[in-house]
Structure 1
C-alpha cells in the first residue's frame, strides 16, 4: 500500500485571503468557489462583515482539517470607542446609551490589561452566531426578542491597550477561538464606567499565518484568470503547523490511514495532545490524538491510499 498526496490541480490545501470590509465570510467563500471551481471550501473562523483581515480557507481534502485550524489562537487589532454602548457591541448597532468618559491614566490601562488577560468568563454579544435552542442568537435579537447568553470560558493570551484619543483606545489582542473582541471592548468600557463598543477590527494572525501572507480578492481573481491560482494554495499541513509532529514507520502509517490505533509512541506526549502525522518519507497523513496509554488514534486522514 502506498500513499499519494492529493493532486495539485484539484486544489487541496489552504488559501489565505485578506477579507475586505462589507463582505461576509460566506461571501468570500462563494467568491473563491467561483474562481477556483472547487466546491469543497470552508473557512476557519468567521469575521464580522465590517471586520477586515486574515481569513483562512480550506479547500478540497484540507476541509477535513478545518476544526483544527479553527481552534488555533487568533490575533486582532482594532479601536474601541468609549462612552457609547450599542446593541451589537460594534459600530453597526443602535446606540443604547451614551456616558461621559472618565479621566484615566496609563496605569489604569495596565490594570485593565492584567484584568482581561488569562481565562475569562465572557458573555457573547446578543448579535452573534451562538445558538439558542437551535436558532442563531442574532436571529432572535433581530426579531426584538431579549437575548441574554450565558458566559463562556475563553482565554486571552495577550492584551495591549493604548490611548489614541480622549474617547478612543487602540487594542491588540491574541485570544482563543470563541473569544469575541466586541464583547471584550464592551466589558473594558464597563470596567472604565462609561461603556464602549468596538469601532473597527482587523484579524492579523491565525496560528502561524500572518495577514502579510494573504491575498486580496482582486489578486485572486487575477491569478485565476491567468491560471496561477493553484500556485497560491498552501499544502494542507501548513494549516496545522502549530501542532507537534509525529513521524511513523510505513507500516504504522498504513494502519493510521485505515483508522487503526498505533503505539505507544516512544516520545513523551501529553494525554489528549493533538499531533500532525507523517510517514518516514515526510508525507503528511493527517491529524491524530495521543491517548493516555501513549497510543495515537487517527482523527482525520488527508493522504490518499492506493
Structure 2
C-alpha cells in the first residue's frame, strides 16, 4: 500500500499521534508525516504510506497556507496560548490601516528565528526538550518567505490572518515577532492549515472517515499517488532504455537548464524542447515513463553535463 493521505488533523493530537493511528488502521509500518502540526493546530497534515515516505521531504516544497488567530497584549514562552505567560501589556487602539502597514513589513524573503519550543534538533536533541529542562536557547535564524499576509478581522485584542508562506515558516514566530514590532507582545491562539503543498483542506479527510474506509475495505479511494509530491518539478519523459538506466541509478545525458530550453521528452540521444525556462531554473527534474508516471527524481550535474538520479521509486513500485 503506497500513497499519500490528506488528513484533517484535529486539535489536541500531535502529528506523531496521527501517524500512530494511521499505522493501526492500515496495518502498515512505513508511515510518516510531512510537515509537523502542533497539538494546538488543526488542518491539513500529509501522511505518507509505503514508498511515499521517500517523497515526504518534497511534499511541501510549493509552500503552505494558514488561517491564524493572534492575541495581542501578552507573551508566552512557547509563543502560543499553551505556554507560560511571561508578560502582559495594554493593547493600543490600533486601526486596521496601522496593522496592515506593519504586516506589509513581514512580506517577502526574510530570516526568521524559530521558537525555543520547536522540534529543531540541537546536537541531536529536539530544542523543546532542552527548553523544558530550563535551558535558555537562542536558535539560529533561518531563511523563509512569506508570500501573502492578509488581515481578515481585527477586534481588540484578537486579529485573524490569512498566510501563505514557504516551508519552514513558524507561524508562532510570526505572531511573536508581530507583537515585538507592535510593542505590546502577541502570541498564537489558534491555527488552521488550509494547504500543504498540493493538498488542500477542502479535499482532506478526518481520521473517522479513514477508519470507516478501513472497515469497509475502501482505503484505496483516499490514497493519492506519490507523484503529486513532485508535480512542481519539471518532467523528463524517457524511453524504456533510458528508464532502465535510471532505475539502476545510472546517469544519462540530456540538455539541462543551461540549454535555455526545457526538454519534455528524452528518447536515447534525442530530445524535444517545448518550453523556455523561467528565471529561477530548476535543478531537479522528475523522470517519467511514456504513461507519465514518475519513477525518479534526478539532479542536474553541470560539470558532467548529465542528469543523476538521486531518488528512485522503482522497480519495487507497483502498477
CA contact (8 A) 1:290 1:296 kept: yes
* The one of 262, 265, 290 aligned to 1:280: 290
What residue in structure 2 maps to residue 179 of structure 1?
Answer: 169
SS at match of 1:153: strand
What residue in structure 2 maps to residue 213 of structure 1?
Answer: 203
SS at match of 1:156: strand
What residue in structure 2 maps to residue 27 of structure 1?
Answer: 17
* The one of 95, 108, 119 aligned to 1:129: 119
Q: Distance in 1 between matches of 2:221 and 2:152?
A: 40
Q: Does 1:57 align with 2:47?
A: yes
Q: Distance in 2 between matches of 1:236 and 1:302?
A: 9
Q: Does 1:300 align with 2:305?
A: no
Q: Distance in 1 between matches of 2:102 and 2:297?
A: 38
Q: Distance in 2 between matches of 1:298 and 1:112?
A: 45
CA contact (8 A) 2:234 2:282 kept: no
Q: Distance in 2 between matches of 1:88 and 1:72?
A: 27
What residue in structure 2 maps to residue 106 of structure 1?
Answer: 96
What residue in structure 2 maps to residue 164 of structure 1?
Answer: 154
Q: Distance in 2 between matches of 1:167 and 1:305?
A: 55
CA contact (8 A) 1:14 1:234 kept: yes
Q: Does 1:66 align with 2:35?
A: no
What residue in structure 2 maps to residue 290 of structure 1?
Answer: 300
What residue in structure 2 maps to residue 5 of structure 1?
Answer: none
* The one of 229, 248, 254 aligned to 1:258: 248
Deviation for aligned residue 1:57 = 1.0
Q: Distance in 1 between matches of 2:127 and 2:205?
A: 32
SS at match of 1:33: helix
Deviation for aligned residue 1:191 = 0.8
Q: Does 1:231 align with 2:216?
A: no
SS at match of 2:187: strand
CA contact (8 A) 1:271 1:291 kept: no
Q: Does 1:202 align with 2:192?
A: yes
CA contact (8 A) 1:71 1:177 kept: yes
What residue in structure 2 maps to residue 80 of structure 1?
Answer: 70
Deviation for aligned residue 1:80 = 0.4
Q: Distance in 1 between matches of 2:283 and 2:96?
A: 40
SS at match of 1:304: coil
SS at match of 2:59: helix
- CA-atom RMSD in angstroms: 1.7
Q: Distance in 2 between matches of 1:221 and 1:162?
A: 35
Structure 2 gap ranges (5+) = 263-276
Deviation for aligned residue 1:243 = 2.1
CA displacement 1:77-127 (0-9 Å, x = unmatched)? 110000010010001001100111112222222322321011111111110
CA displacement 1:12-58 (0-9 Å, x = unmatched)? 01111000111000010010000001110111110001100000011
TM-score, structure 1 normalization: 0.92
Higher relative contact order by CA 8 Å / sep ≥ 6: 1 or 2?
1
CA contact (8 A) 2:4 2:226 kept: yes
Q: 1:38 to 1:265 in 2, by over 3 A?
A: farther
SS at match of 1:174: strand
Q: Distance in 2 between matches of 1:185 and 1:216?
A: 28
- Which stretch has the larger CA shift, 60-69 or 85-94? 60-69
CA contact (8 A) 2:145 2:165 kept: yes
Aligned residue pair count: 296
Deviation for aligned residue 1:212 = 1.0
